[in-house]
């Protein structure tokens, strides 16, 4: 009997302990769940931050590539302009010289009135040849504009028109002033007279209508 009473007392005393242990286990489980929830929240925030950083990194990379491409294009334009400037460095000087050279050529090709003057003409001819050779070496070249050739508007300028029925349209009938190329540029277009039969035909048609 005493043993039964003792066992009941032991059971009664152990019940609060079990309840306490159960409560502690429940609290621990709740804490773990809350801790896990907070960790998950942190992970989600970090994932959002990582996505933002990736997006910002992509934007910065794109901006860098655009800036790099712009700088490369700018450097390319600068280099091309420098090459162009060096290529045509003598253009202005040569442009100023072609008129005096033209006059010298005309003078030395004129008939001399006396043997004495002819000697001077020979000297001027030598000087003229030297000057033209220098300019030729620098890139100056005459435009091929001759009587009988077809008019080319790219490097010629028609200052007058002629109405010769025996000559085809758009054919040069007279060269008024020679033209020159400086390397691949037209330094001065050739001034020419171009045949236009159509002009005469239009005039005749107008008279017939009257």
* pLDDT tens digit sequence for 169-192: 999 999 999 999 999 999 999 999
Calculate mean pLDDT across residues 199-205. Answer: 48
| Residues 110, 104: Cα–Cα separation, whole Å | 10
Residue 141 to residue 183: CA distance in whole angstroms? 7
Spatial contact of 190 and 177, defined as CB atoms under 8 Å apart: yes
Phi, psi of 76 (to 5 degrees): -65, -45
If one compares 104 and 194, the residue with the highest pLDDT of the two is 194
| pLDDT tens digits for range 51-67 | 888 889 989 899 889 98
Report whether pLDDT(68) > 80: yes
Q: So where are the chain's domains?
A: 1-87, 89-138, 142-210
**Overall CATH class of domain 142-210:** mainly beta
- The Cα 199–Cα 152 span in angstroms is 19
Residue 203 has pLDDT above 50, yes or no: no
Alpha carbons 137 and 130: distance in angstroms, whole number: 11
Distances (CA, A) of 64 to 56, 60, 78, 175: 12, 6, 21, 59
- Model pLDDT for residues 80-127, shown as the tens digit of each residue: 888 887 888 888 899 899 999 888 888 888 888 888 888 888 888 898
pTM over 0.85: no
Distance (Å, whole) CA 137 – CA 153: 26
């Amino acid at each position: 009997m005493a043993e039964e009473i003792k066992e009941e007392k032991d059971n009664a005393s152990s019940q609060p302990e079990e309840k306490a242990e159960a409560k502690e286990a429940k609290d621990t489980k709740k804490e773990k769940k809350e801790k896990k929830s907070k960790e998950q929240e942190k992970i989600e925030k970090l994932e959002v931050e990582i996505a933002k950083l990736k997006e910002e990194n992509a934007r910065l990379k794109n901006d860098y590539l655009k800036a790099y491409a712009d700088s490369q294009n700018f450097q390319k334009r600068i280099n091309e302009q420098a090459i162009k400037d060096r290529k045509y460095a003598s253009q202005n000087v040569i442009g100023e010289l072609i008129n005096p050279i033209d006059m010298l050529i005309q003078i030395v090709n004129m008939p001399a009135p006396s043997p004495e003057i002819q000697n001077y003409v020979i000297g001027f001819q030598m000087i003229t040849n030297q000057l033209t050779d220098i300019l030729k070496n620098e890139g100056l070249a005459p435009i091929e504009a001759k009587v009988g050739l077809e008019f080319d508007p790219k490097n010629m300028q028609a200052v007058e028109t002629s109405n010769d029925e025996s000559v085809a349209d758009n054919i040069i009938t007279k060269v008024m002033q020679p033209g020159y190329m400086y390397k691949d540029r037209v330094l001065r277009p050739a001034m020419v007279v171009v045949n236009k039969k159509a002009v005469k035909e239009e005039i005749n048609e107008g008279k017939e209508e009257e």
